[in-house]
Structure 1
């Protein structure tokens, strides 16, 4: 048997590794060197997937014939040999030993150097590590190597017998001194340290490092300094937690903490919450020993006292108060530092600071008292009046809550009060659609872009351009530019059981009709060729049934009955009629990116149709009517009344009647479903979700009106709903002037942002709903409430922006959203603590009236519950009430809570708000 490529290939196909190793061992070095270029050429010509077992044999041939580790690595990394090292390394080490290869360790190092920094595959590391250990080579210090090394300790992927304790394995590891320092230098590796060696909840790596420190294996000063430096760089909580635990395990002494006092001061002022708490504890120990410089304490306190973490801030205030008591003769600057908490967002923190300043008032100089009085300008609620009396100054009438123009009307405030100083940014106008696609080449680019990212705007432009260019006789240009795109993405355009009902399949048929490619024989074209094609027949039948019976999604139709299915229906309509009906243009193409279609533009399109003697396609025309604003210009209505075609007369009647009536929506609760063990089932994981029903306000109307406006949710919550994921703008553009309809259909997905911690639905959908018009009904109110309580900040920010837009447009929404928040928050369906920052942002952004109305609707039901967020909502209400200068008994139930005995925070905040509303 000769060492030829034919032999290697035959042994690979038989997966005969032993025979290949014997063949390589029997060959002379010269024979192996001569076979190297032959093996290289053969491996280069291999198909993408030669088979898992065959890859290992090919890789053995590469290692056995390559002249160097560098050349072997180049071949081993070819796509055809991916995952070649899924076998144990012993096989390759046996070959290296048989051939007495001098570069085994170098091969391992080169393979290790190519490990990716993000999520390296464990097998790749174990293989490279075995080669490096066999060759006595130290691994390169790269992020991929360090991450793999850490994971090999923390999570044993291939345990062989009992696993020794982590501290023992780390103590005996020959690469510890090389790789462990890098663990403190790679910012994202902390999450890998969070793994555990047992089933416990505490990461084992920090404890193991600390144990090695205590026994003297590691140098304590170096480890502590590296830990503090890592904390100073900051990062995500899961990346910092192991180093916080390591710091706790190290338990620095006062001497050690004194060395890092300035570092701890920086961490206290700007570090994440858990890190700042650690730093505060260390600094207090240093201060207790009399070794902390006063200036360091005061500088750190200035930033700490305005942090969001109230527990940390209150602890800092207590510390400063203790320092003032300890050194009364030098306490003036400490009292001034305490006044820095006047700028905190929470009223109870401001009140605590004001109490401490009042307690130590006699220890400050007149100049220091003047500085404190200036800081009091940041106080809110009822505190400015108290501060004014403390500093013997007349209170500011607005900040003290006594504005001459105080609002005494009920909670439904229609405008901002005079002198309130609150302003709203005017919502920008909705952007117009981009210009039409200019030529076939641009259409091909937009078509390819649509495959990668679906957008409603992209669909409308592609559909309009395809029909227009077909009408203009550009079939050859379309064939030359579009068919390569459909050929490149057959999974999208060729029908299969996976893409039934997709608008891309119908678009592929429409493209083939426009390009007249009946003679092509490739799979994509043949799938939709000819009038007898079953896919074309199925789409034509679906369009016919939808028109005759006013329904989609019947048992034999692949088209979705949801609103986003209107797009697929319209594309199917184009595919079914493009070659037969002489319709030169799409009439539903919007004029604005939210889907709105200017009535005057639609009038011009219908006038053209009447002049040229053609009728719009039915569903394209119905979509156009749904996109026309409710109120049209009188001149447009007069000109529309002169149209004589059926479409023209229907358009005129549509304008005269005010368009589509608002459907009737109502909230409905979906209870969770419990399994036999009493817990929530995996597919219904939430105990309660509020969705919405829809029904049309009239009989008749458009063909699909009843189906589009009829929504009956299922009995129980759906696990991670995703009907509109990635097509949110397509949904919104069906009803640009009825956002309540889009909100109702998408409400389950929006709810999942809060009750299942999903993401991006609000971020993608809400900017569109903000630009749409129509009243805010129950569906929209609950959608906003859920989005305000979303897990991810980007979704909450989208809800805030939407509320600001609604407020700027003076749309009545606050009371329904407040009621929805109360309903969802009273029993813990949503986490109200997520809502508070969003409401505070609304207040700071100028929507104070809306926030007040929302709170007035939300607070009365919540006051009867034990929700933990009620005191914070009352505090926010106090701040907003002072800003607006409202007066009167505007919050039902507030007086009763304020009259309770005791000093709970709910009672204190209720008393505060009651005193502001009824001074």
Structure 2
């Protein structure tokens, strides 16, 4: 018979896999090979997303046609990997496939399986459906799979997330799998495999295992019955732990290690590996290694040199519990081997470098207890090591060793040089095109200002032909961004597309022009962005969109030679003398700046102006010049009123919070202008009423931190109030990335109100280290200024920590970093504001804050009375909170 694509396609679209198979089987091999090109062409012409729009997925039947006609494994793999077919692999009737392969006597199914293995995904592998199909092809071709990440991930996913409600236990599935011996080693060798096991077993955020046999139980069972070699698996487990990974990814292997319960002989064989894990492994792994090494030591089979070498870095680990256990263990060893006690206690002295005073004190106390029994040279070396002790401990060490107290050197915070000047302006159309292409992907405030300034300047210089040669292709390349659509009509980028159209002389879209003209007119007449008649955002980002729309509307109506609002510094500020020069030029040349360009320029002026600039500004006579002079004489924009506002978490009818994890409250801020009238941009920028309930994962300004901060560079509290939701979500929803706004605000000026104070406090408690580092950088810059702020941040931090809106244990390392960087005086202000409410509440992390306060107090020589400290120090008992309170109280009273 003769094969034709129309018939195959019709049957495929009806889901008739048996019918397609019959057509292939009834043809001769010559007819099949001749039909291969028609199959390839037909599949290529099939829409990739047809399976989602059609009632029946045609992909499985088309895949059978590929197997039935392809001349080689390479050609078959190319077609099967096309999107139209790949998504359909799990639905292919595999019996039909092997029937066709047998009829054709194909000898390349194994090669086909190997080629498909090379393209298996390594991410988002949920249940291994693609692997299941490829495994069938390999088995049909009697081939072994390559041990690649895609293969191992697919195989593992198929094992731990099988399809079907009634499946054999995992132990049985592993035992019976033909590729167990080939692929199981890869689970231990490839990074991140443990995370797949963890997520399948426990699930995200769950401390309890799901039902069913767990991976470590199944592997241990196969070891116990001899199906897997115990030595091989134990070596693989220890090697995996030694190479490290994320905590969740290591957990299944820790459990497998515990399930295997290594004997003393097995531990001895891996003593050096366990020693390395004790020193370098994650916390839970170090504890495991410590337990194994102690077992070995208790039997007299641990070499003391190995123990001492591993102990030195282990005593500097941030986890206190294993460090305390290590010190106790070493003391026991010293008693057991008195001839080497000096070496042991010198090793214990390594704990003098631990960041926690509690650990330093424990080591010092223990050494002092045994000092009389130690050799003199060992004592001298320990005394030298004690110079790195912190807090109140140097004085105690001096009394123990009979040495002189070495005063702690407090690093000086280097002065902040101020924001950098703006980069040089763009002077060529080709450079402008390149910058716009980058802007589409990264809307930085600096880049926006350079692009707008160049677009206006190059157009005014009579270089429309150059612009017309390089800018229109951008409109085609980035249609989704630079062309107005229902989802971006008010975005600055879509307004930029209209401005490019105007600058290059392209035919303008009348509807877009009228829409932007109407938005600019409403902003002029009513001082409003957004709502009826205006698509522009009502927030600060809408100021940029308004300015771009103003350019698009007016560019060809007046030969404006330049923008006056282009900043002179990267934080958005404009030097008053530079704006004076621009307006003097406008007056001399007889042109007036556009309205919102001028208003943005005025909002960017510094808070103080040199007298000579005031005098020269008073001599300007144009409308813009007189407005500029009046603005300077009146002191510029008065600070708005910013007040804290508590948002309460939203609940359902049963009183359950709608989000998981629940956000019971979030601190925001209201804004109110402190005067009537003013600029048209002013009232909307300075009026903010947060919603009653927190927003889920807010991201209005997350991608535009520079745009936000540059609108009002000398009123940073306003920007913080608009963005407080994004900053709060870093801590209470574990979002990421929005902390980068804070260093930008730190380069700005203006009083610190509740929004910026709470914003810093939230970001100190961010889950991601990069966001916490951004808060540290911002705090350090602000500490060089003259505006008081640290006490407000401390009060906000204590408030947020009171109900765990911010996890204090996340924030404390950041505060310690600030102290070590030289801003100790500012951190002391923060701590003395935060400690009283935390002491009163008995917060569990207040002990660590007290310890940090002692270190800061010693370094700065601070003497102050902290409410509640004396009462806490006077409490009976030896809890850590009491001990740290006594330490700080003693330091402040000395």
Query: Shorter-chain TM-score category?
Result: over 0.9
RMSD of equivalent CA atoms? 2.0
Q: Where do residues 238-317 of structure 1 align in structure 2 (5 Å cutoff)?
A: 238-317=248-327
Q: Deviations over 1:690-741 (max 9, x none)?
A: 1111111211111121111111111121111111120111100101111111
Does the 8 A contact of 2:120 with 2:151 survive in 1?
yes
Shift in CA distance, 609/197, structure 1 to aligned 2, threshold 3 Å: closer
**Aligned-pair distance for 1:11?**
4.5
Does the 8 A contact of 1:342 with 1:378 survive in 2?
yes
**Aligned-pair distance for 1:859?**
0.7
Please give the TM-score of this superposition, normalised by the length of structure 1.
Answer: 0.93
* 1:690 maps to 2:701: no
* 1:782 maps to 2:758: yes
Bigger mean CA deviation after superposition, 286-295 or 486-495:
486-495
Q: Where do residues 65-214 of structure 1 align in structure 2 (5 Å cutoff)?
A: 65-79=69-83, 81-90=85-94, 91-120=96-125, 122-156=128-162, 158-159=163-164, 161-196=165-200, 201=209, 204-214=214-224
Q: Deviations over 1:440-477 (max 9, x none)?
A: 22222222222222111222222222222222333333
Shift in CA distance, 507/330, structure 1 to aligned 2, threshold 3 Å: closer
**Aligned-pair distance for 1:223?**
1.0
Does the 8 A contact of 1:89 with 1:130 survive in 2?
no
For the residues of structure 2 that align with 1:196 and 1:452, how far apart are their CA atoms?
36
* 1:873 maps to 2:849: yes
For the residues of structure 2 that align with 1:17 and 1:324, how far apart are their CA atoms?
77
Does the 8 A contact of 1:117 with 1:144 survive in 2?
yes
Partner of 1:487: 476
Bigger mean CA deviation after superposition, 737-746 or 546-555:
546-555
For the residues of structure 2 that align with 1:57 and 1:118, how far apart are their CA atoms?
27
Q: Which runs of 5+ in 1 are unaligned?
A: 400-419, 519-527
**Aligned-pair distance for 1:51?**
4.9
Secondary structure of 1:331's counterpart equals helix
Q: Deviations over 1:303-331 (max 9, x none)?
A: 11111111110010111111122233432
Bigger mean CA deviation after superposition, 597-606 or 278-287:
597-606
User: Of 879, 886, 894, which residue of structure 2 is paired with 1:911?
Assistant: 886
User: Of 707, 710, 729, which residue of structure 1 is paired with 2:684?
Assistant: 707
Partner of 1:627: 604
Partner of 1:344: 354
Once superposed, which parts of structure 1, at least 4 consecutive aligned residues long, lie more than 6 Å away? Answer: none
Number of residue pairs matched by the alignment: 882
Q: Where do residues 417-432 of structure 1 align in structure 2 (5 Å cutoff)?
A: 421-432=410-421
Bigger mean CA deviation after superposition, 73-82 or 722-731:
73-82
For the residues of structure 2 that align with 1:78 and 1:684, how far apart are their CA atoms?
40
For the residues of structure 2 that align with 1:341 and 1:459, how far apart are their CA atoms?
52
Q: Where do residues 830-849 of structure 1 align in structure 2 (5 Å cutoff)?
A: 830-849=806-825
Does the 8 A contact of 1:732 with 1:742 survive in 2?
yes
Q: Deviations over 1:144-193 (max 9, x none)?
A: 0011111111111x22x511111111111111111111111111211112
For the residues of structure 1 that align with 2:842 and 2:301, how far apart are their CA atoms?
45
Does the 8 A contact of 1:874 with 1:910 survive in 2?
yes
Shift in CA distance, 869/51, structure 1 to aligned 2, threshold 3 Å: closer
Higher relative contact order (CA 8 A, sep 6+): 1
Secondary structure of 1:292's counterpart equals coil
Secondary structure of 1:881's counterpart equals helix
Bigger mean CA deviation after superposition, 269-278 or 821-830:
821-830
**Aligned-pair distance for 1:297?**
1.0
User: Of 763, 769, 775, which residue of structure 1 is paired with 2:745?
Assistant: 769
Shift in CA distance, 149/710, structure 1 to aligned 2, threshold 3 Å: same
For the residues of structure 1 that align with 2:167 and 2:18, how far apart are their CA atoms?
31
Secondary structure of 1:187's counterpart equals coil
Bigger mean CA deviation after superposition, 34-43 or 841-850:
34-43
Please give the TM-score of this superposition, normalised by the length of structure 2.
Answer: 0.95
Q: Deviations over 1:95-146 (max 9, x none)?
A: 3244343333332232122213333473321211122223322111111001
For the residues of structure 1 that align with 2:689 and 2:865, how far apart are their CA atoms?
37
Shift in CA distance, 120/198, structure 1 to aligned 2, threshold 3 Å: closer
Partner of 1:896: 871
Partner of 1:21: 21
Partner of 1:641: 618
User: Of 491, 499, 510, which residue of structure 2 is paired with 1:502?
Assistant: 491
For the residues of structure 2 that align with 1:462 and 1:783, how far apart are their CA atoms?
31
**Aligned-pair distance for 1:24?**
1.5
Secondary structure of 2:699's counterpart equals coil
Q: Deviations over 1:44-99 (max 9, x none)?
A: 55555565634434333222111121221123334554424242342433432443
Does the 8 A contact of 1:427 with 1:805 survive in 2?
yes
Does the 8 A contact of 1:596 with 1:627 survive in 2?
yes
Shift in CA distance, 33/283, structure 1 to aligned 2, threshold 3 Å: same
Q: Deviations over 1:733-785 (max 9, x none)?
A: 101111111111111110111111111101x2112112111122221111111
Bigger mean CA deviation after superposition, 319-328 or 11-20:
11-20
**Aligned-pair distance for 1:195?**
4.1
* 1:857 maps to 2:816: no
**Aligned-pair distance for 1:16?**
4.5
* 1:433 maps to 2:438: no
User: Of 210, 215, 225, which residue of structure 2 is paired with 1:215?
Assistant: 225
Q: Where do residues 647-662 of structure 1 align in structure 2 (5 Å cutoff)?
A: 647-662=624-639
Secondary structure of 2:189's counterpart equals coil
* 1:228 maps to 2:205: no
